Structure 1
Amino acid sequence: MALRSKDLFDDSSMSFGDHLEELRFYLIRALLGVIVVSIFTLIFGNYLVAIVRAPIDRALIRQGLAKYRVDDIGTDTFIERISKWSNSLSGMNEEEKEEENTLESEGPDAIVDDGARLEGRQIDIQIPQRDLVNALHQAAPDKFQRMDAPADADADGKEAAVTIRISAPEFSIFRENVKRANRPVTLNVQEAFLTYVKVALVSGVVFASPWIFYNSWMFVAVGLYPHERKFVYVYGTMSLGLFLIGAVFCFYIVFPFILEFLLSFNSWLDVQPQIRLSEWVTFAVFLPLMFGLSFQLPLVMVFLNRLNVFTETVYREQRRMAMLVIAFVSMILTPSDPASMMLMMIPLVFLYELGIMLCRMNPVDNPFEREGELMT
């Protein structure tokens, strides 16, 4: 009598409906975890937006397209922002009213004298001593003598200068306009809010992903044999590690090269870029995701090898064709500039060799090769 293979659920007393109920239980747990984490990412989403913005801000400064670093994105949380918004519905708050009344009563001279209000409203200029003395001599020849020889130089060899502080309310407006010129822009009223929510929700899913994977594993592991669980532990951990390496590699290594290349055309053509916030956030999320997925190449090769689709010998013999496919995929998944294409292609070449090594370390008994050996 032929022996029947043991079914995965022979030892289980759960019906199909019970499995669906268990699936619903783990899905609800995973969803609750995402909701809890997303609440925190929504509260502190301004810091997440600052992290996402950091590469483009640094690249603009390196290219000379932005003169000042914008790092005052706002330290108040989402709840504090909502509270301020609710207060603004009923008019200015008490502090703003008090400040406005003080400015109206004291007049414009108080702005110059009050050191607390000078922040952002004053600039320091340096004038060479000879130029200052000669200007005073021109204004009052009787009191000041003309200086023909330069003053003593400082430690750096530069002519000694006098620092003069000038204060005016207009300087704060000028400084704020300069900062705004360096910031990413939005093109409609709801774009900033929707981008904020998008970054917060995507971050919530990313931070909650360990909890999602845990609940998924708790449901799936019941139907797996011990040796199958071992493969999941090994290759699942390797997959997560490769994905994180690819995403971090893109964010900290690839982004500077890509942005340097793309933004250099703005300087070359003498145009000022206006970075749209929503488009940059989409790009900053999409490209690391593509790098993380492309870094799964060794595991895909091992999977196809286990299915007897491709053997380790085929991988070795078709290296040239594989390089061509890798170059094409790198061109599709990146902005198609040479820098980003090469920065994806070169790691994938090494990962391809890693895939061959993994296939060699875990050989598969191929029935077609065994049949060919028997025929010979």
Structure 2
Amino acid sequence: MAASEESTDKPMPLLDHLVELRRRLIWSIATFVIAFGICYHFSGEIYRFLAAPLAEIMRQKNEQPHLIYTALYEAFFTYLRVAVFGAIFLSFPMIAIQAWIFIAPGLYRDEKRAFAPFLVATPVLFLLGAALAYYLVFPMAWKFFLSFQQTGGASDMGIQLQARVSEYLDLVTKMILAFGTCFELPVVLTLLVRVGLVQTAQLRRVRRYAYVGAFAVSAVIAPPDAITMLSLAIPLVILYEISILAARLVEPRRVDEDDDESDDDPSHPHDGTTTTDGAS
């Protein structure tokens, strides 16, 4: 085996692997617990940040921004869920680092260099997807949904939004996680091409089906309105094309076996000379 492909770490017995796994799990859990405590302390501020797009639309309509809860424990458990949601974001880098420390000793140098860019791209793309949902999709979607309100009069019945804190949190976290996860498409496809499970030619052949799948996934994940669905489907289509371009850069080159055999066969000269019978 080539020196560049050799692993720099010595083999470990199974018990040592379990001990190492336990150590990495302790670090990850401890980080999550600390992040949860911090996020729970600021859970009110985090929730107001998540509700800011809705509050801004309400102010534009000259309404007092507010959310309601109908059960005594609803607000408390909502804050707990906000703390868990925030802790996942804060602790993810440490958890990813611990996972890499545990997996890296079993990889060769070339494999480590190949996987390192994916570790960097994963959180960046997730944040880009979450930012797209928060800063672009939320304002458009909330404005669309609030447009169905009607002001009541003496003889007309009004229609007014009374959003619950738990239902709003469910919708917001679902969309943020959905957009962030969908933005991992280039990482997944490029990694599959890098390890040889898929080829870029195959990705190009199934392009039309991928487009249909992007709209189908958007219809399932996003709220049932055209604006939000297109806001997710169009980026998915663009990300698919970016995935093909990125995959071409990391796709292993296929070596022609016939050329290799001709190079190794001494009966095939390479310097342009010919062999003659009876040469001494």
**Contact 1:250-1:287 within 8 A present in 2 as well:** yes
Identity %: 30
- Select 1:266's aligned residue among 149, 153, 171: 149
Larger radius of gyration: 1
**Contact 1:186-1:276 within 8 A present in 2 as well:** yes
List runs of 5+ in structure 1 lacking aligned partners. Answer: 1-5, 69-181, 372-376
**Contact 2:8-2:109 within 8 A present in 1 as well:** no
Measured after TM superposition, the shift of residue 315 of structure 1 is 2.2
CA distance in 2, matches of 1:211, 1:183: 36
Q: Which residue type is aligned with residue 164 of structure 2?
A: R
CA distance in 1, matches of 2:141, 2:69: 22
Paired position in structure 1 for 2:67: 184
| 2:95 partner SS | helix
- Select 1:295's aligned residue among 183, 197, 204: 183
Change (3 A) 1:187 1:214: same
Give the alignment's TM-score, normalised by structure 1. Answer: 0.61
1:352 aligns with 2:268: no
- Select 1:28's aligned residue among 26, 29, 34: 26
Paired position in structure 1 for 2:36: 38
Paired position in structure 2 for 1:213: 96
Paired position in structure 2 for 1:11: 10
**Contact 2:9-2:106 within 8 A present in 1 as well:** no
1:236 aligns with 2:88: no
Paired position in structure 2 for 1:332: 220
**Contact 1:246-1:288 within 8 A present in 2 as well:** yes
CA distance in 2, matches of 1:212, 1:359: 27
Measured after TM superposition, the shift of residue 314 of structure 1 is 2.6
Deviations 1:45-75 (A, max 9, x none): 221121112122112233x2x523xxxxxxx
CA distance in 2, matches of 1:15, 1:361: 37
CA distance in 1, matches of 2:10, 2:38: 42
| 1:266 partner SS | coil
Paired position in structure 2 for 1:3: none
Change (3 A) 1:347 1:370: farther
CA distance in 2, matches of 1:370, 1:7: 25
Where in structure 2 are the equivalents of 1:315-326 lying within 5 Å? 315-326=203-214
Give the alignment's TM-score, normalised by structure 2. Answer: 0.81
Q: Which residue type is aligned with residue 293 of structure 1?
A: T
Deviations 1:301-330 (A, max 9, x none): 223323544422232233222211111111
Q: Which residue type is aligned with residue 51 of structure 1?
A: F
Where in structure 2 are the equivalents of 1:64-103 lying within 5 Å? 64=61, 67-68=63-64
CA distance in 1, matches of 2:185, 2:132: 15
| 1:265 partner SS | coil
CA distance in 1, matches of 2:33, 2:74: 23
Higher mean alpha-carbon deviation, 312-321 vs 283-292, is at 312-321
- Select 1:61's aligned residue among 52, 59, 62: 59
Measured after TM superposition, the shift of residue 215 of structure 1 is 1.6
**Contact 1:306-1:364 within 8 A present in 2 as well:** yes
**Contact 2:204-2:244 within 8 A present in 1 as well:** yes
Q: Which residue type is aligned with residue 10 of structure 2?
A: D
Q: Which residue type is aligned with residue 82 of structure 2?
A: V
**Contact 2:8-2:108 within 8 A present in 1 as well:** no
**Contact 2:7-2:109 within 8 A present in 1 as well:** no
Where in structure 2 are the equivalents of 1:152-231 lying within 5 Å? 182-231=65-114
Change (3 A) 1:276 1:292: same
Paired position in structure 1 for 2:136: 253
CA distance in 1, matches of 2:241, 2:257: 25
List runs of 5+ in structure 2 lacking aligned partners. Answer: 152-156, 259-280
Change (3 A) 1:296 1:370: farther
Change (3 A) 1:18 1:210: same
**Contact 1:326-1:345 within 8 A present in 2 as well:** yes
| 1:17 partner SS | helix
**Contact 1:9-1:223 within 8 A present in 2 as well:** no
Change (3 A) 1:60 1:236: same
Q: Which residue type is aligned with residue 318 of structure 1?
A: V
Where in structure 2 are the equivalents of 1:141-152 lying within 5 Å? none
Change (3 A) 1:232 1:310: closer
Q: Which residue type is aligned with residue 256 of structure 1?
A: P
